[in-house]
Structure 1
């Protein structure tokens, strides 16, 4: 997907304001706080197309991938930022393409497992020391064209999505896929059509997938079979996180975050968001951390 096609997609959602939650949802009661604050508790700015936020619980910090250019260009200028939960930016360019032996083009999905930071970067997964940021090599993913979502399961396995060639929004894609990575070995779990799989959340036996080219959130089991499905009110789903029984999915088309349970209806939890991308969840503070791709901001929304 080119930058121009991304901006065109944002327009589908209608008139947009700053990346800022403006609405609450009154949903079913739960022991787990599930409503989203109406306004950002903290806003970070100064990024360059922030695509993914990962909460690094071991170090109590937020990591942000910055595409910094065309989303599929091998231009060598992508970078990873480090944010403090107190609202400050610890290091805007902690890991930067072209410096200290680092190759990083258009980083998207982030995951940490076994002290290693894994980064989805177009057609490879790059590895860095999660403490120092030192480059540790890469994992090739043959045949991939637009690696996107990345998540770590409790057993150390990684799940990785390939959204397909970046040629448009609703075109057919031959490389749509979800992979499992164990060690440095990549195995195909499921392949398209999958509605342009983007963000991923691990389950006990598989993974939950958000689709950018459709309005579906669905589960894939350990054998690659599609299970429970939720049809959301709008598509362009770019991020998904889990908090208790609730799933939160960002939608570019609706300029919103949807909330729901897999296999059940979803509803708007926060609106008036500009290009909300692959959000993170701060489990220590009960926060959604939302990167706004075209606004170059990251917003912190409290769960109440």
Structure 2
């Protein structure tokens, strides 16, 4: 009885109950005390975890928070159960379910790849690219790529002009381009893609794509022409980061390594033995790489020199 009353009080206190607002973002960890007062968690307590198949992450430098995508359970078990967690830079939980605390006004089935650009969160969700306000979590738009053949969108990157590039890892093995107004088209179709996964936009506006099927790190111009190929230390790759100085970091989800490729150099392994090292992100404030670990339901943290 007490648990039911507490849950009810918490929901009434922390949810905006207005007819004008359907979507509600989650709030930082806290409870309602016996006096009925909302009580944030004490700063001397840290909570870790909160993930359900952590596939990718991205970083919000304005709030100094990591956004972790949680794909949830297989859709045959439960549809529309994906969510986004806010994580502090030390790995402790800020908001367990930020996008996804309520399903009102929200569709987020199985979020995989993610990217942030100009105050917008972009998420690859099966055959749709969904966008959210980075400050509030409010859903903004849904760009279907299904008519162009997408059925398993995975890696995602966003250019400075708002053009979206997203990989489709299963057949048809492609990278799609979605214009800022939502029009989807095929950017790269087939070879040299071999189970394409991670996608990034480099400092020259070119599109960098990695494969699960080999160790190629491929750079395409905006016409879809392959202009350069480099090589990670291992194959089975998932995540790609390109930093401001042009250094590339690649994660192998199959073999658990992080490769670093400096401009003009060969790949070196800077970390290994990481189970299911998925779609990594770069925390530019703490200068660290954050490593989602899929069904290990965890994030790894790799400080950089």
Report the TM range for the smaller structure's normalisation: 0.7 to 0.9
Alpha-carbon distance in 1 for matches of 2:214, 2:49: 30
Normalised to the residue count of structure 2, the TM-score between the two structures is 0.77
CA distance in 2, matches of 1:73, 1:235: 31
Partner of 2:210: 210
Residue in structure 2 matched with residue 161 of structure 1 by the alignment:
167
Change (3 A) 1:263 1:299: same
Aligned residues: 255
Alignment equivalent of 1:124, drawn from 121, 128, 137: 128
- Change in 2 beyond 3 A, CA 1:97/1:196: farther
- The alpha-carbon deviation at position 195 of structure 1 amounts to 1.2
Residue 242 of structure 2: aligned partner: 242
Instruction: Please report the RMSD computed on the Cα atoms of aligned residues, expressed in angstroms.
Output: 2.3
Say whether the 8 Å CA contact 2:150–2:172 is kept in structure 1.
no
Give ranges in structure 1 of 5+ residues lacking alignment: 1-41, 165-172
Look at both structures and tell me which one has the larger radius of gyration over its CA atoms.
2
Determine the structure 2 residue equivalent to 1:224: 224
Residues 1:182 and 2:188 are matched in the alignment: no
Aligned-pair CA distance for 1:97: 7.9
Instruction: Describe the shift of the 1:260–1:237 C-alpha distance in structure 2 as closer, same or farther (beyond 3 A).
Output: same
> Unpaired segments of 5 or more residues in structure 2?
1-45
The residue correspondences of 1:48-127 to structure 2 (distance < 5 A) are: 48-70=52-74, 75-96=79-100, 99-127=103-131
Preserved contact between residue 279 and residue 291 of structure 2 (Cα < 8 Å):
yes
TM-score, length basis structure 1: 0.77
Q: Does 2:155 match 1:149? A: yes
1-structure distance, mates of 2:225, 2:113: 23
Greater RCO, CA 8 A, separation 6+: 1
Deviations 1:202-248 (CA, angstroms, capped at 9, x unpaired): 12232111111222111011110112112333211010112323211
Matched-pair contact (CA < 8 Å) for 2:162–2:179: no
Is the contact made by 1:211 and 1:238 (CA closer than 8 Å) also made in structure 2?
A: yes
CA distance in 2, matches of 1:75, 1:291: 22
- 1:74 shift after superposition: 7.2
Deviation at 1:281, TM superposition (A): 0.3
State how far apart, in whole Å, the 2-side matches of 1:114 and 1:242 are: 18
